[in-house]
């Protein structure tokens, strides 16, 4: 029988000295170890353990050479240098705040980083407590009684919220979303729901706020959930959440709000406004912009407890009657309920939730309110400075803005984008004559220079 | 391990017990079933007045490690629900045949009763 | 226990190892009067813990010490591949270029796109696939993506009648959950007497309604599905597709590729096979690879190489999106760093040592292992002993226990996956722990664990009266 025995080359580089000759710096076996283990197993070679039929053996190579740590780091660093170092004034659902150093240092503690889901709570009390504190933070901010310990991201949280509404009202078939919803979120929502028989319909916004009259006309007993965002895709704070929740409830549907923990630090508690589910991206605390990576925030009313997706950490007691933390209500989850699980999620974003929790703890209520206030003050300052430029209407919508706002330019938006790029700035055009401009503590030091560049750009 | 199977009542293959009293019947799950499930934490039931149809799922029992459907051993209308179980589902573990009863129905078709197992027959099944 | 592993959890001399909640240390109410918003939009005040940086550092450091990770000791959790996570990949993930906004135009982030493209290519090569999307943020999300692609493929041929996905009873719970999320009915098939796919049962389950079969290979008993070629042809002959759950790919790295076995779609678990840290439950990433006829359905966007560089591309019949943007980018770059570091020879060595370790450990423990020959993991049965109690007892010996009572085919199952990261001495110590426990009496097992930060946890109370935030905490607890 062809065992497909391969010639294994050794990894070059200075790192291997104490283990040489070996093939992988992360396998600790000495040649003597391997020899003695094989002897115990009555084998000549490790390859004898692979009884793969020869027809499906892979006998070629991947043609990926091994590299030293130094080489990998250098190579990747060099590739990254091909990125243009632009100062980003980009938002649209992904925001950057300064991450205090303690977040990296504490979250990188290897017990946190290298543990897995807390299936053995007795040796996972620390991480469980962190997640319990994260849940408590979200409960405090939303006023809702239940927060899970994370979903993947904002978009998938909206999808899970829609599915939750479907479990609560199984006969309803429609989800209503604002017409300005970021397209990526709409696409994820469709993928999460359309196969379960849901239709997604969008309701109009007017001057960047929900058109409540139109929404009233569209609502019916078929609607399972009405989704609204604040801040919305234009950075405007929604001013009709309470009415939207009322309209939803009158027809027996749920009201779901998309937001984030910094905004929630100053916005009226969603629960007080009648909101049933809150979703969002909690990684505005704890994670810099990471090409769309985040952590899905998910909170809801306590009535839905047994229908909630994702992991929940609870407090109980141990055999000695002392406080203990554990994953609980696991029968909702896929590893027990399989095809009838409340979600297919298993691996989630726990470590990002840990970073969010540390960042929030670091800021405390004073720091959170100050950060949120900056998210109001900075766009106000920038938008009024831009509005002084001829040919610019800023902000386009007369709303309260959070982090970002829409600007209208007489000049083609794409030309403005291209010009600003030559000046070292990244902004995004949302249509022919409109741009979305985002400002936070991480780019605010460039505010005046950006205004100057913008003046030139619209000339 | 031997499980209690009181001879005063009848059983379904899906581990529900039935105690018939003229036109009504009390329904619960057996000692064997509660032991298999382990610590019961939640029981989901339809509202009063709902009609159960024999052999169809009418609710579920959740333990810390499993979820199990409840199948109607007989057809009928729900007359009463053991509301104690809402706060103390452990009653089903502690006393499955008495304080752990689940619901009471008014029977629709008395002829269905003869399809149920006797205590002995059920005992043979669980062995 | 002196000769047994020295991986006991760090603990304090005091009987009550306890770290108060942040809320018990301080709660401060902050007024929002100075916030320039009308009163109907803002809250009156915000109440949260307010602590100094040193207090916060100690709080979390203490909590980290009450957490067991791969760096604490052996982590035998079967099916989760808890291998060592190389430290340098953390440095790679904080390189300045990593912090990029998703709305950057492709021509301004050629480096990022080149890195993603390189990973797509390498994963395609490793799985034998023709194209890869990196978007799914976890294995289960990869499965869901695969299911959506399967649906799109059948529907593109005008075939709307297929409504079933076949899944072996030993499959991961995510398989049926993902298939259901994709709108399919699941058809479960039993294993044969050898723990592998029961060919007769598969034959009986296959029909014109079959959209796909989802399979793990080696399966969750660690067994290689030696009839995989037959299985593939049976499914294909019926017009179905074959989906590979990549959870156990670590066993076969560089030796047999899912494509070679006949699979049409697969997901990779970068947090298992490619050593990105599990982070207490995530994030991971679940890229999906497909054969060429399915490429057109991949989620948008994928990275392509053009004559002028790299670009984002939406495949013609794309299923749309499964994540708000491009998945868990920071995990992806760690996975790429690992692959580049090891190269062919290192990856081949990973599967060699993973399988050697499982077989060596299996040969040393006294519990029965009903199904053989196994690869990177095995299922032992603790027989008369309760597997969950054996697991709790292993904690006292400083070992993170195996997955317990699953798969259900083996009674009192202990699904053991030592990974390639353990050396012979540690494996000997683990085996000694198992063997000692196998001779312990029931009362010893029942009272375990005793050397952990807390004793055995009352799960029933946790689920009967859930306390899920500090707001609902009874002060007596």
Q: Which two tokens stand for residue B127?
A: 């062995």
Q: Is the pLDDT of residue C452 over 80?
A: yes
DSSP letter at C465 equals: S
Written as one string, the DSSP assignment of C12-35 is -SSS------HHHH--EEEE-TTS
Q: Is the pLDDT of residue C1 over 70?
A: no
- Work out the minimum CA distance from C465 to partner chain B, whole angstroms: 8
Interface probe, candidates A331, A340, A341, chain B, greatest B C-beta count within 10 A: A331
pLDDT band, residue C43 (cuts 50/70/90) = very high
The answer to whether B69 faces chain A, any CB pair under 8 Å, is no
What is the C-alpha to C-alpha distance for residues C118 and C114, in angstroms, rounded to an integer?
A: 6
Q: What pLDDT score was predicted for residue A196?
A: 85
pLDDT band, residue A438 (cuts 50/70/90) = very high
Q: Which two tokens stand for residue C464?
A: 């009967």
* Residue C470 contacts residue A138 (beta carbons within 8 Å): no
* Residue C290 contacts residue C129 (beta carbons within 8 Å): yes
In sequence order, which residues have a C-beta less than 8 Å from that of residue C370 and are 6 or more positions away?
C195, C379, C381, C410
Helices and strands in chain B, H and E counts: 4, 9
Question: May I ask the CATH class of domain B10-109?
Answer: mainly beta
Q: What pLDDT score was predicted for residue C17?
A: 61
Q: Tell me what the pLDDT averaged over chain B comes to.
A: 93
Reading phi first (left if > 0) and then psi (alpha if -120 to 50, else beta), residue B50 is in: beta
Lowest mean pLDDT among A11-15, B48-52, C188-192: A11-15
> Which of C:237-276 have CB within 8 Å of A?
252, 254-257, 260-262, 269, 271, 275
What is the C-alpha to C-alpha distance for residues C310 and A438, in angstroms, rounded to an integer?
A: 26
- When CB atoms are compared, the residue of A25, A126, A289 closest to C65 is A126
In chain C, which residues have their Cβ closer than 8 Å to the Cβ of B42? 463-464
Q: Is the pLDDT of residue A139 over 50?
A: yes
Cβ within 8 Å, pair A340-B65:
no
Three-state secondary-structure class, residue C374: strand
pLDDT band, residue A5 (cuts 50/70/90) = very low
CATH of the domain spanning A87-97+365-457, picked from 3.40.718.10, 3.40.50.720, 3.90.1150.10, 3.30.1360.200: 3.90.1150.10
pLDDT band, residue C56 (cuts 50/70/90) = very high
What is the C-alpha to C-alpha distance for residues C351 and C341, in angstroms, rounded to an integer?
A: 15
The answer to whether B36 faces chain C, any CB pair under 8 Å, is no
DSSP element (H, E) containing B25:
strand B24-29
Partnered with residue C47 across adjacent β-strands are: C29
Q: Which two tokens stand for residue C362?
A: 């299996």
pLDDT band, residue A18 (cuts 50/70/90) = very low
Is position C112 within any domain? yes
Is position C76 within any domain? no
Q: Which two tokens stand for residue C176?
A: 């049926």
Report the candidate in C111, C349, C333, C400 with the shortest Cα–Cα distance to residue A7: C349
Q: Is the pLDDT of residue C9 over 70?
A: no
Q: Is the pLDDT of residue C410 over 80?
A: yes
For C160, the domain range is: 88-341
Q: What is the rounded average pLDDT of the residues A435-441?
A: 98
Report the candidate in C328, C323, C293, C325 with the shortest Cα–Cα distance to residue C312: C325
Q: Is the pLDDT of residue A368 over 70?
A: yes
What is the C-alpha to C-alpha distance for residues B112 and A181, in angstroms, rounded to an integer?
A: 56
DSSP element (H, E) containing C4:
none
Is position C375 within any domain? yes
Report the candidate in A386, A374, A359, A382 with the shortest Cα–Cα distance to residue A441: A374
Same domain for C391 and C452, yes or no, is yes
Out of C316, C341, C366, a domain closes at C341
What is the C-alpha to C-alpha distance for residues B115 and B111, in angstroms, rounded to an integer?
A: 8
Q: What pLDDT score was predicted for residue B126?
A: 83
Nearest CA in chain C to A124: C67
What is the C-alpha to C-alpha distance for residues B16 and A176, in angstroms, rounded to an integer?
A: 43
In chain B, which residues have their Cβ closer than 8 Å to the Cβ of A306? 42, 44, 62
pLDDT band, residue C6 (cuts 50/70/90) = low
Q: Tell me what the pLDDT averaged over chain A comes to.
A: 94
Same domain for C257 and C137, yes or no, is yes
What is the C-alpha to C-alpha distance for residues C219 and C227, in angstroms, rounded to an integer?
A: 12
Partnered with residue C311 across adjacent β-strands are: C304
- What percent of chain C has a predicted confidence (pLDDT) above 70? 96
Q: Is the pLDDT of residue B127 over 90?
A: no
Q: What pLDDT score was predicted for residue A340?
A: 87
The 3-class SS string of chain A reads: CCCCCCCCCCCCCHHHCCCCCCCCCCCCCCHHHHHHHHHHHCCCCHHHHCCCCHHHCCCCCCCCCCCCHHHHHHHHHHHHCCECCCEECCCCCCCCCCCCHHHHHHHCCHHHHCCCCCCCHHHCHHHHHHHHHHHHHHHHHHCCCEECCCECCHHHHHHHHHHHHHHHCCCCCEEEEECCCCHHHHHHHHHHHHHHCCEEEEECEECCEECHHHHHHHCCCCEEEEEEECCCCCCECCCCHHHHHHHHHHCCCEEEEEECHHHHCCECCCCCCCCCEEEEEHHHCCCCCCCCCCCEEEEECHHHHHHCCCCEEEEEEECCCCEEEEEECHHHCHHHHHHHCCCCCCCCCHHHHHHHHHHHHHHHHHHHHHHHHHHHHHHHHHHHHHHCCCCEECCCCCCCECCEEEEEECCCHHHHHHHHHHCCEECEEEECCEEEEECCCCCHHHHHHHHHHHHHHCC
Q: Is the pLDDT of residue A13 over 80?
A: no
Written as one string, the DSSP assignment of B115-126 is GSBPHHHHHHHH
Report the candidate in C260, C273, C268, C262 with the shortest Cα–Cα distance to residue C350: C273
Domain ranges of chain B: 10-109
DSSP element (H, E) containing C459:
helix C459-464
Q: Is the pLDDT of residue C456 over 80?
A: yes
Same domain for C222 and C147, yes or no, is yes
Q: Is the pLDDT of residue C249 over 80?
A: yes
Q: What is the rounded average pLDDT of the residues A336-353?
A: 93
Q: What is the rounded average pLDDT of the residues A370-391?
A: 98
Cβ within 8 Å, pair C460-B90:
yes
- Work out the minimum CA distance from B67 to partner chain A, whole angstroms: 6
Is position C192 within any domain? yes
Same domain for C316 and C262, yes or no, is yes
pLDDT band, residue A374 (cuts 50/70/90) = very high
In chain C, which residues have their Cβ closer than 8 Å to the Cβ of A152? 137-138, 141, 283, 323, 328
Q: What is the rounded average pLDDT of the residues C333-348?
A: 96
A321: exposed, middle or buried (C-beta count within 10 Å: 0-12, 13-18, 19+)? exposed
Cβ within 8 Å, pair B67-A330:
no
Question: Higher confidence at residue C205 or residue B36?
Answer: C205
Partnered with residue B104 across adjacent β-strands are: B26, B80
The CATH fold of domain A101-358: 3.40.640
Lowest mean pLDDT among A166-170, A247-251, A314-318, C473-477: C473-477
- What percent of chain A has a predicted confidence (pLDDT) above 70? 95
- What percent of chain B has a predicted confidence (pLDDT) above 90? 90
What is the C-alpha to C-alpha distance for residues C121 and C461, in angstroms, rounded to an integer?
A: 50
Q: Which two tokens stand for residue A130?
A: 């962190």
CATH 3.90.1150.10 domain extents, chain A: 87-97+365-457
User: A160-172 pLDDT, tens per residue?
Assistant: 999 999 999 999 9
In chain B, which residues have their Cβ closer than 8 Å to the Cβ of C460? 39, 41, 64, 90
Q: How many CA atoms lie within 13 A of A411 on its CB side?
A: 17
What is the C-alpha to C-alpha distance for residues C287 and C335, in angstroms, rounded to an integer?
A: 11
pLDDT band, residue A10 (cuts 50/70/90) = very low
Report the candidate in C198, C298, C196, C288 with the shortest Cα–Cα distance to residue C246: C288
Q: What pLDDT score was predicted for residue A101?
A: 98
Would strands B10-11 and A428-431 be described as parallel, antiparallel, or unpaired?
unpaired
Instruction: Say how many C-beta atoms besides its own lie within 10 A of residue C307's C-beta.
Output: 4
What is the C-alpha to C-alpha distance for residues A261 and A245, in angstroms, rounded to an integer?
A: 20
Q: What is the rounded average pLDDT of the residues C13-25?
A: 78
Same domain for C182 and C244, yes or no, is yes
Is position C5 within any domain? no
Lowest mean pLDDT among A6-10, A95-99, A157-161, C459-463: A6-10
pLDDT band, residue A4 (cuts 50/70/90) = very low
Is position C190 within any domain? yes
Out of C341, C359, C385, a domain closes at C341
The answer to whether B100 faces chain C, any CB pair under 8 Å, is no
| Strand-by-strand arrangement of the B16-21 sheet | B10-11, B16-21, B24-29, B103-107, B76-81, B51-52
Is position C411 within any domain? yes
Burial C331-368 (b: 16+ CB within 10 A, else e): bbbbbbbbbbbbbbbbbbbbbbbbbbbbbbbbebbebe
Q: What pLDDT score was predicted for residue A2?
A: 37
Q: Is the pLDDT of residue C10 over 80?
A: no
- When CB atoms are compared, the residue of C53, C283, C345 closest to A349 is C283
Q: Is the pLDDT of residue A8 over 70?
A: no
* Residue A231 contacts residue A140 (beta carbons within 8 Å): no
C-alpha torsion B64→B67→B73→B78, nearest 10: 80
Q: What pLDDT score was predicted for residue C126?
A: 98
C-alpha torsion B31→B35→B36→B40, nearest 10: 100
Q: What are phi and psi of A284, to 5 degrees?
A: -60, -25
With tokens 């809702």, the residue in question is A144
Q: What pLDDT score was predicted for residue A195?
A: 87
Q: What is the rounded average pLDDT of the residues A257-282?
A: 98
How many domains does chain C fold into? 3
Distances in Å between the alpha carbon of A241 and those of A256, A259, C40, C286, C304? 10, 12, 10, 36, 42
With tokens 């207490």, the residue in question is C280
Q: What pLDDT score was predicted for residue C251?
A: 98
The ipTM is 0.97
Cβ within 8 Å, pair C463-B90:
no
Lowest mean pLDDT among A411-420, B82-91, C418-427: B82-91
Instruction: Say how many C-beta atoms besides its own lie within 10 A of residue B19's C-beta.
Output: 16
Distances in Å between the alpha carbon of C416 and those of A1, C172, C319, C399? 29, 15, 37, 12
Q: What is the rounded average pLDDT of the residues B14-37?
A: 94
- When CB atoms are compared, the residue of C34, C68, C177 closest to A111 is C68
- Work out the minimum CA distance from C133 to partner chain A, whole angstroms: 15
Q: Tell me what the pLDDT averaged over chain C comes to.
A: 95
What is the C-alpha to C-alpha distance for residues C115 and C329, in angstroms, rounded to an integer?
A: 10
């Amino acid at each position: 029988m062809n065992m497909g025995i391969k010639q294994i080359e050794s990894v070059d580089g200075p790192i291997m000295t104490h283990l040489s000759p070996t093939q992988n710096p992360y396998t600790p076996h000495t040649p003597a170890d391997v020899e003695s283990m094989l002897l115990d197993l009555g084998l000549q070679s490790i390859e004898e353990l692979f009884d793969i039929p020869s027809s499906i053996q892979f006998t070629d190579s991947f043609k990926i050479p091994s590299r030293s740590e130094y080489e990998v780091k250098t190579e990747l660093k060099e590739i990254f240098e091909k990125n243009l170092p632009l100062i980003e004034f980009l938002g649209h659902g992904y925001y950057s705040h300064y991450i205090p150093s303690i977040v990296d240092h504490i979250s990188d503690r290897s017990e946190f980083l290298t543990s897995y889901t807390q299936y053995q709570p007795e040796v996972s009390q620390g991480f469980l407590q962190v997640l319990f504190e994260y849940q408590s933070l979200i409960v405090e901010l939303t006023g809702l009684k239940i927060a899970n310990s994370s979903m993947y991201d904002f978009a998938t949280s909206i999808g899970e919220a829609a599915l939750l509404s479907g479990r609560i009202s199984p006969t309803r078939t429609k989800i209503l979303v604002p017409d300005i919803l970021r397209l990526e979120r709409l696409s994820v929502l469709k993928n999460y729901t359309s196969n379960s028989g849901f239709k997604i319909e969008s309701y109009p916004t007017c001057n960047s706020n929900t058109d409540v009259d139109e929404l009233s006309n569209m609502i019916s007993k078929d609607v399972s959930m009405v989704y609204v965002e604040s801040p919305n895709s234009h950075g405007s704070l929604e001013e009709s959440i309470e009415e939207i929740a009322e309209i939803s409830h009158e027809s027996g549907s749920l009201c779901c709000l998309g937001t984030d923990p910094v905004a929630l630090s100053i916005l009226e508690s969603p629960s007080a406004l009648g909101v049933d589910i809150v979703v969002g991206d909690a990684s505005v605390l704890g994670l810099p912009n990471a090409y769309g990576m985040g952590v899905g925030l998910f909170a809801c009313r306590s009535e839905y407890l047994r229908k909630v997706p994702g992991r929940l950490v609870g407090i109980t007691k141990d055999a000695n009657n002392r406080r203990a933390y554990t994953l609980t209500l696991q029968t909702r989850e896929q590893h027990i309920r399989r095809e009838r699980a409340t979600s297919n999620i298993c691996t989630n974003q726990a470590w990002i939730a840990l970073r969010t929790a540390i960042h929030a703890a670091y800021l405390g209520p004073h720091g959170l309110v100050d950060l949120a206030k900056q998210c109001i003050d900075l766009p106000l300052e920038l938008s009024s400075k831009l509005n002084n430029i001829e040919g610019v209407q800023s902000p386009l919508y007369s709303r309260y803005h959070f982090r970002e706002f829409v600007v209208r330019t007489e000049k083609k938006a794409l030309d403005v984008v291209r010009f600003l790029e030559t000046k070292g700035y990244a902004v995004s055009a949302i249509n022919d004559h409109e741009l979305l401009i985002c400002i936070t503590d991480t780019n605010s030091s460039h505010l005046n220079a950006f205004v100057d560049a913008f003046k030139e750009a619209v000339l | 391990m031997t499980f209690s199977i009181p001879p005063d009542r009848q059983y379904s293959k899906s581990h529900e017990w039935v105690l018939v009293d003229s036109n009504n019947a009390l329904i619960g799950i057996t000692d064997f079933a509660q032991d298999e499930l382990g610590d019961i934490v939640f029981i989901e039931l339809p509202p009063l007045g709902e009609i159960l149809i024999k052999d169809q799922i009418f609710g579920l029992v959740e333990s810390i490690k499993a979820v199990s459907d409840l199948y109607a051993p007989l057809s009928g209308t729900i007359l009463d629900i053991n509301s104690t179980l809402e706060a103390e589902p452990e009653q089903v573990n502690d006393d499955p045949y008495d304080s752990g009863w689940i619901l009471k129905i008014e029977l629709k078709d008395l002829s269905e009763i003869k399809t149920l197992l006797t205590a002995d027959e059920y005992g043979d099944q669980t062995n | 226990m002196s000769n047994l592993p020295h991986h006991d959890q760090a603990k304090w001399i005091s009987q009550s190892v306890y770290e108060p909640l942040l809320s018990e240390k301080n709660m401060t109410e902050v007024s929002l009067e100075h916030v320039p918003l009308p009163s109907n939009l803002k809250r009156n005040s915000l109440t949260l813990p307010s602590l100094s940086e040193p207090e916060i550092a100690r709080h979390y450091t203490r909590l980290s010490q009450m957490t067991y990770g791969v760096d604490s000791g052996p982590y035998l959790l079967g099916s989760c591949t808890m291998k060592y996570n190389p430290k340098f990949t953390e440095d790679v993930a904080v390189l300045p270029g990593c912090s990029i906004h998703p709305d950057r135009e492709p021509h301004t982030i050629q480096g990022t796109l080149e890195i993603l493209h390189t990973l797509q290519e390498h994963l395609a090569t490793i799985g034998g696939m023709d194209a890869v999307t990196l978007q799914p943020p976890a294995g289960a999300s990869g499965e869901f993506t695969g299911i959506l692609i399967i649906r799109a493929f059948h529907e593109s041929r005008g075939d709307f009648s297929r409504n079933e996905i076949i899944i072996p009873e030993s499959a991961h719970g995510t398989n049926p959950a993902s298939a259901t999320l994709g709108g399919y009915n699941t058809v479960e098939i039993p294993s044969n007497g050898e723990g592998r796919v029961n060919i007769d049962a598969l034959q009986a389950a296959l029909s014109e309604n079959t959209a796909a079969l989802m399979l793990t290979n080696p399966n969750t008993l660690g067994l290689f599905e030696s009839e995989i070629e037959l299985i593939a042809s049976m499914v294909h002959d019926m017009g179905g597709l074959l989906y590979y759950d990549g959870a156990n790919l670590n066993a076969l790295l560089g030796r047999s590729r899912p494509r070679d076995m006949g699979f049409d779609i697969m997901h990779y678990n970068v947090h298992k096979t490619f050593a990105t840290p599990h982070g207490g439950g995530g994030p991971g990433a679940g890229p999906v690879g497909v054969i060429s006829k399915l490429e057109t359905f991949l989620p948008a966007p994928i990275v392509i190489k053009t004559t002028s560089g790299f670009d984002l591309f939406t495949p013609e019949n794309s299923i749309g999106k499964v994540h708000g943007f491009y998945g868990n980018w920071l995990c992806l770059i760690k996975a790429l760093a690992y692959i580049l570091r090891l190269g062919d020879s290192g990856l081949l060595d990973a599967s060699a040592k993973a399988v050697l370790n499982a077989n060596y450990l299996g040969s040393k423990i006294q519990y029965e292992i009903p199904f053989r020959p196994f690869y990177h993991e095995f299922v032992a049965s603790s027989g008369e002993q309760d597997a969950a109690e054996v697991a709790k007892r292993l904690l006292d010996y400083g070992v993170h226990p195996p997955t317990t009572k699953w798969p259900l085919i083996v009674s009192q199952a202990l699904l053991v996956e030592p990974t390639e990261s353990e050396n012979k001495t540690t494996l000997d110590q683990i085996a000694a722990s198992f063997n000692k426990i196998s001779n312990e009496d029931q009362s010893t097992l029942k009272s375990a664990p005793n050397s952990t930060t807390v004793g055995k946890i009352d799960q029933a109370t946790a689920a009967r009266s859930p306390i899920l935030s500090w707001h609902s905490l009874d002060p007596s607890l």
